[in-house]
Amino acid sequence: MAKKTVFDLDVKGKRVLVRVDFNVPIKEGKITNDNRIVSALPTINYLIEHGAKIILLSHLGKVDHKDPVKCEENKKKNNMAPVAVRLQELVNTKVTFVNQTRGAELEEAVKNLNDGEIVLMQNTRYEKGESKNDPELAKYWASLGDLFVTDAFGSVHRAHASTVGIAEILPSALGFLVQKEVECLSAAIDNPKRPLVAILGGAKVSDKIAVIENLLKIADKVIIGGGMSYTFAKALGRNIGTSLLEEDKIELAKEFLEKGKDKLILPVDTNCANDFDNPTEIKVFEGDIPDDFMGLDIGPKTIELFKKELEGAKTVVWNGPMGVFENPTFAVGTIEICKAISELPGAMTVIGGGDSASAAINLGFKDKFTHISTGGGASLEYMEGKVLPGIAIIQEKD
């Protein structure tokens, strides 16, 4: 059964609680990247145009409730006020910011909403009960609205009061951003056109254990690059020098190699340096890496191998860079693989958020992929085959 979307709700004159992801970077009171606010605009604008009374909820950063001093510092740092200022610039309606998460001021602001207007309340994580999915808090927030819409894909893997608790009480639906995420990830993971090729990178095997396990079952090929590939190389008995290694995951890597067999594709050469911060020598090594060198990117032969393995792919899922892409010297592997995926004819190409999404966007490939996920943790859990509680709770279509 498909989930209800905003289209399935009669929102005219109704108070609609919308869980958005406005967890944006803020420096000295200024937003440095408003992409997450912009991503929520299709749903917000639809609700404005259809005469809803809109109440927006979002978390911002982390708030440590165990330490009173830290708690106040975190609250000051993660104040939603700059978000309200930016939102007002982006929408053609009145935005009222309420510096509260509950109480008379918030209730009055909601009561005074005209059709098509917005109330943005303070950071949901100001509330201790938010991350615990406190039923009393969820009940209170639900009392402010008639309907609930989830449009924060970056938070749907968390069973919080604002993602799951409210949806247990009010009629609910997916916003356009979450709807697109679910459709694209489902098409890539649950019902892919084949061959399906998965590319996994990033630093640690431990971050991707469940992803590798699930993809080895469903993908036609699983390509491994980045820091995690050195644990696999060690499992094959290769010398990896001073490269990143998870000693306690070598046996697991051996199990994956046994399960994956020809399906698992590993680097054949490595771009290495004799020091991470101040290298005086940069060399490419095939097979073993000398004791005083560390691998920081895939080598040219590996780039060609990976490109060859991608040929003919009809679905590609990519999560994690191929090297230390923040350093231009070791960004070549990530750039080349990014380019190769983006040029595949007729393929569905999905980036599962996180560093690979940042890499694709920063390297100028934003419009070259079918879909770039807005939620690293949520997309990773989807790729693991896990149920995402913030989506599971949403009502099915009749």
For the domain that residue 153 is a member of, what is the CATH number? 3.40.50.1260
Stretches in the chain below the pLDDT threshold 70: 1, 353
Domain boundary among 128, 144, 177: 177
Task: Quote the distance between the C-alpha of residue 356 and its chain's center.
Answer: 10
Q: Do 145 and 193 fall within a single domain?
A: no
Q: Do 135 and 155 fall within a single domain?
A: yes
Domain boundary among 177, 194, 210: 177
Q: Do 354 and 234 fall within a single domain?
A: yes
Asked whether residue 134 is domain-assigned, the answer is yes
User: Which residue has 């997916």 as its token pair?
Assistant: 174
Q: What angle, rounded to 10 degrees, do the helices at 376-383 and 176-185 form?
A: 30
Asked whether residue 378 is domain-assigned, the answer is yes
pLDDT of residue 31: 95
Distance CA 369, CA 207 (A): 24
User: Which residue has 């602001």 as its token pair?
Assistant: 109
pLDDT of residue 113: 98
- Assigned token pair, 158: 């968390």
Query: Which residues are bridge partners to 200 per DSSP?
Result: 224, 319
Q: Do 124 and 270 fall within a single domain?
A: no
Note whether 300 and 334 are within 8 A (CB): no
Asked whether residue 211 is domain-assigned, the answer is yes
377 is catalytic: yes
- Annotated catalytic residue, options 204, 238, 254, 339: 204
pLDDT of residue 1: 58
Q: Do 336 and 209 fall within a single domain?
A: yes
- Exposure string for 144-164, b = 16+ CB within 10 A, e = fewer: bbbbbbbbbbbbbbbbbbbbb
Q: What phi-psi label fits residue 14: left (phi over 0), alpha (psi between -120 and 50 degrees) or beta?
A: beta
Domain total for the chain? Answer: 2
Q: Do 168 and 203 fall within a single domain?
A: no
Asked whether residue 393 is domain-assigned, the answer is no
pLDDT of residue 377: 85
Q: Do 130 and 211 fall within a single domain?
A: no
Q: Do 133 and 192 fall within a single domain?
A: no
Q: Do 379 and 295 fall within a single domain?
A: yes
Q: Do 204 and 253 fall within a single domain?
A: yes
Asked whether residue 212 is domain-assigned, the answer is yes
Q: Which domain holds residue 60?
A: 6-177
145 is catalytic: no
Q: What phi-psi label fits residue 51: left (phi over 0), alpha (psi between -120 and 50 degrees) or beta?
A: left
Asked whether residue 394 is domain-assigned, the answer is no
Distance CA 336, CA 301 (A): 12
Give the residue from 199, 198, 203, 204 showing the smallest Cα distance to 323.
Answer: 203
Distance CA 387, CA 382 (A): 7
Note whether 393 and 168 are within 8 A (CB): yes
Q: Do 86 and 161 fall within a single domain?
A: yes
204 is catalytic: yes
- Annotated catalytic residue, options 4, 15, 36, 158: 36
- Annotated catalytic residue, options 175, 260, 333, 354: 354
pLDDT of residue 395: 97
125 is catalytic: no
Asked whether residue 84 is domain-assigned, the answer is yes
Domain boundary among 177, 193, 228: 177
- pTM of the prediction? 0.90
Q: Do 211 and 287 fall within a single domain?
A: yes
Asked whether residue 389 is domain-assigned, the answer is no
